[in-house]
Amino acid sequence: MKIAILSRDAKLYSTRRLVQAARDAGHAVQVLDPLRCYMNITSAKPAIHYKGRELTGFDAVIPRIGASITFYGTAVLRQFEMMGVFPVNESVAISRARDKLRSLQLLSREGVGLPVTGFAHSPDDINDLLREVQGAPLVVKLLEGTQGMGVVLAETRKAAESVIQAFMGLRQNILVQEFVQEAGGSDLRCFVVGGKVVAAMQRRAREGEFRSNLHRGGSAEKTRLTPQERATAVKAARVIGLNVCGVDILRSRHGPVVIEVNASPGLEGIETASGVDVAGRIIAFIEQHARPHRTRTRGKG
């Protein structure tokens, strides 16, 4: 097969591992910077051009689209879908995952466990909002934040009011969530491929920090999931519509609760901690499922 990887940097660990796994399996692979792809939208035959030539003959595309280029990156991916190329994750599903509010609403509708979450627009509603999420301590999250950025722990009611007012004053959309204290500054990253959890790790925040992201200095180790945790991760991926994703879960007194579904999870941390060849599992999924025009939306959504 001929596989395209949409990635801004061919030197990134995740991109290099996917290239290696594809070549080890005997496939041709090309890394494409999505921002250098340009499209003929008006043509009766959808086409993508890259650095002066038309892209043809691809059987599958692996999107590694960062949050900062979601709009243009998903447009490029949608064009591949219209050309009949099989996407590991569809553009519609990536857009769902990147919209934190929308993804939480979809998960809530399907009964997936979530932290108590509030969303409001007016500063006049802050007091009611704090009551809804059971008061401080609580977590305030920017809708557009990634890798732990734009996430603030407010330990007192006064601090919560100040943080929320500040974000609202900057016209930022925020979520307010209960702080799951029993998680102890750790969470689970469940890596889902094709409806199965293929690897899992427990991430722990560094001393003095509540965010467990590895980019924020957290540590990770291999962990065993309970059947309920595994089922929660698989259901969350299915609800959002992602074939490949990282589902982040907290262990709460009410059972597992999902805090995020990541449409472009990094491979280095999970492969190092778990010892699982996750890149190889992704390529095996492509080999099993890649067929022309085999998408739910075919670029329409």
Report whether 68 belongs to an annotated binding site: no
**What pLDDT is stored for residue 204 in this prediction?**
84
pLDDT tens per residue, range 152-206: 888 888 888 888 888 888 888 888 888 888 777 789 999 999 999 999 999 887 6
The answer to whether residue 301 scores a pLDDT higher than 50 is no
143 confidence band (pLDDT: 50, 70, 90)? confident
CATH code reported for the domain at 182-284: 3.30.470.20
Mind giving me the DSSP string for 66-127? Answer: -GGGHHHHHHHHHHHHHTTPEESS-HHHHHHHH-HHHHHHHHHHTT-----EE--S-GGGHH
Report whether 243 belongs to an annotated binding site: no
CATH architecture classification, 117-179: 2-Layer Sandwich (3.30)
The answer to whether residue 294 scores a pLDDT higher than 80 is no
Q: Give the global pTM.
A: 0.87
212 confidence band (pLDDT: 50, 70, 90)? low
Report whether 262 belongs to an annotated binding site: yes
pLDDT tens per residue, range 38-68: 998 877 788 999 999 999 999 999 999 998 8
Residues 249 and 258 sit within 8 Å (Cβ to Cβ): yes
CA angle 14, 40, 66 (to 5 degrees): 25
Report whether 211 belongs to an annotated binding site: yes
Closest among 282, 210, 218, 275 to 246, alpha carbons compared: 282
Whether 2-95 and 182-284 share one fold: the answer is no
**8-17, 104-113, 135-144: range with lowest mean pLDDT:** 135-144
The answer to whether residue 218 scores a pLDDT higher than 70 is no
Please state the rounded mean pLDDT for residues 7-18.
96
**What pLDDT is stored for residue 176 in this prediction?**
87
125 confidence band (pLDDT: 50, 70, 90)? confident
Average pLDDT, the chain: 88
The residues that bridge with 63 in the sheet, in sequence order, are 6
Tokens of 169: 């004053």
Rounded-to-integer distance, Cα 225 and Cα 228, Å: 8
Q: Pinpoint the alpha helices (H) of 215-267.
A: 227-240
Report whether 9 belongs to an annotated binding site: no
Cis omega before residue 137 (within 30°)? yes
Please state the rounded mean pLDDT for residues 222-230.
94
Report whether 209 belongs to an annotated binding site: no
Rounded-to-integer distance, Cα 264 and Cα 65, Å: 7
Report whether 212 belongs to an annotated binding site: yes
Domain boundaries, the chain: 2-95, 117-179, 182-284
The DSSP output letter for 225 is: P
Closest among 21, 19, 94, 23 to 63, alpha carbons compared: 94
Say how many residues make up the chain.
301
pLDDT tens per residue, range 255-284: 999 999 999 999 999 999 999 999 999 999
CATH code reported for the domain at 2-95: 3.40.50.20
